[in-house]
Amino acid sequence: MLNGKTILITGGTGSFGHHFVDYVLAHYQPKKIIIYSRDEFKQFNMQNAYRQYSQPGGVLRFFIGDVRDKERLTRAMQGVDYVIHAAALKQVPACEYNPNEAIKTNINGAMNVIDACLDCGVQKVVALSTDKSVNPINLYGGTKLVSDKLFCAANSYSGGKGPIFSVVRYGNVAGSRGSVIPFFQDIIDQGGRELPITDFRMTRFWISLEQGVELVIKALEVSQGGETFISKIPSFKITDLAKAMSPDCNLKEVGIREGEKLHEIMITSEDSARTYEYDDSYIIYPHYDWWLDRMIVPGGKPVEAGFEYTSGNNKVFLTVEELQQKLKTDLDKH
Ligand SMILES: NC(=O)c1ccc[n+]([C@@H]2O[C@H](COP(=O)([O-])OP(=O)(O)OC[C@H]3O[C@@H](n4cnc5c(N)ncnc54)[C@H](OP(=O)(O)O)[C@@H]3O)[C@@H](O)[C@H]2O)c1
């Protein structure tokens, strides 16, 4: 699928971008992978980390650019087959405090990426979404909801001639910056004997970056336009994670934070009428006049009316021992 293709990743110097590049270089022979982001220092570090691929004429190419700049995106996308849109402002408090900036990057940036893809003849586009865009309670989630809608609706503009736009949704990646695992680890490393838990009932999904990358590649392979792809993954209780990381620590309930949910939600009951279940994933199909049932990916079955997929109602929960194992193998190393 990716052999001989030119792929551009907005936000390619981020955690996802690094892992995507590792995965693609290990499994495919792409013609070019273009990293598109703003900070020259992050690009410099990435060029050094992938020195053998970053030489002149190498597979990895680096474009400084902002997703707020449509002209620059259009220049960068010349000759590009596939675009992965990963660039985002994604820290909840930063988006609350700087709402205009979150809107400019996450919404205006999404519109620019779509326009540039339409103008440059890109074949397929996958945008990264988050559980926070489902019934959003903070601005980050709100901007990502709008971004998801923009990408799904963009298929109407391409008029069946391409590009094909789709969305991949997952929750916090295990060990990602600002998430609960590094937070607990800092306390443990400083000799803390008590781990704060906002609410003892709280649950989360467990997803590794590898699984996120694989879902994006699946979306590139099978999307017909407007789908939202969601992995089937296990859940865990935050209290079990704390016990897995530090069996002897005390746990203290400190109260839910503003903008925080008890459970991660991936699929709402309102989505159930358009959701199909597959062996390893769910796909929410779009609700457009042009969408035809023959575009449904084979091998799935419709979920029951009212079905919801949340980290709280998941059938599979990791035990403390399983969490300890996953903490050794699954954490984001970038
Ligand atoms: N990490 C998670 O747990 C998680 C979970 C669910 C969904 N997601 C989604 O996955 C995507 C990637 O996340 P990540 O963890 O890889 O994020 P990350 O590590 O914070 O990386 C973000 C990337 O976006 C770039 N960027 C930010 N603003 C930009 C702009 N205006 N123009 C161009 N590039 C810009 C950053 O580079 P510069 O600063 O140099 O521009 C960086 O390369 C995001 O869309 C996020 O919403 C992430």
Distance 132 CA to ligand 1 centre (A): 15
Q: Note whether 310 and 264 are within 8 A (CB).
A: yes
Residue carrying the six token digits 């989630």: 141
CA–CA distances in Å: residue 221 to residues 45, 216, 229, 240, 305: 31, 9, 12, 36, 28
Q: Is the pLDDT of residue 273 over 90?
A: yes
Read off the pLDDT of each residue in 309-315 and give the average, rounded to a whole number. 97
Domain boundaries, the chain: 6-172+207-232+266-310
Q: What are phi and psi for residue 261, nearest 5 degrees?
A: -110, 155
The CA distance from 42 to 40, in Å, is: 6
Q: Which two tokens stand for residue 201?
A: 């009932």
For the stretch 221-244, pLDDT in tens is 999 999 999 999 999 999 999 999
Q: Which two tokens stand for residue 82?
A: 């596939």
Q: Average pLDDT of the chain?
A: 95
The CA distance from 268 to 307, in Å, is: 7
* Cis geometry, peptide bond prior to residue 247 (ω within 30 degrees of 0): no
Distance 316 CA to ligand 1 centre (A): 29
- Count of all residues that appear for the chain in the document: 334
Using pLDDT thresholds of 50, 70 and 90, give the confidence band for residue 35: very high
Q: Is 90 a catalytic residue?
A: no
Q: Report H helices in the chain.
A: 15-27, 40-49, 70-76, 92-97, 99-102, 109-120, 139-158, 180-189, 209-222, 238-245, 320-329
Rounded to 5°, the CA angle 310-128-77 comes to: 170
pLDDT at 1: 86
Distance 210 CA to ligand 1 centre (A): 16
Distance 171 CA to ligand 1 centre (A): 14
The CA distance from 231 to 279, in Å, is: 10
The CA distance from 291 to 296, in Å, is: 9
Angle at which helices 238-245 and 180-189 cross, to 10°: 40
pLDDT at 159: 72
pLDDT at 334: 64
Q: Is the pLDDT of residue 76 over 90?
A: yes
Q: Ligand 1 pocket test: pick from 8, 9, 16, 107 the residue with the most ligand atoms within 8 Å of its Cβ.
A: 16
Q: Which of 82, 218, 293 is nearest to 285 (CA)?
A: 293
Q: Is the pLDDT of residue 333 over 70?
A: no
Catalytic residue among 132, 144, 237, 326: 132
3-state secondary structure of 304: coil
68 lines ligand 1 (CB under 6 A): yes
Q: Which two tokens stand for residue 186?
A: 């800092």
In the chain, the amino acid numbered 250 is N
Q: Is the pLDDT of residue 245 over 80?
A: yes
Q: Note whether 207 and 231 are within 8 A (CB).
A: yes
- The number of the ligand 1 atom at minimal distance from the alpha carbon of 105 is 31
Q: Which two tokens stand for residue 168?
A: 């991949």
CATH code, residues 6-172+207-232+266-310: 3.40.50.720
**Kind of pairing between the strands at 235-237 and 203-205:** antiparallel
Nearest protein Cα to ligand 1, atom 41: 38
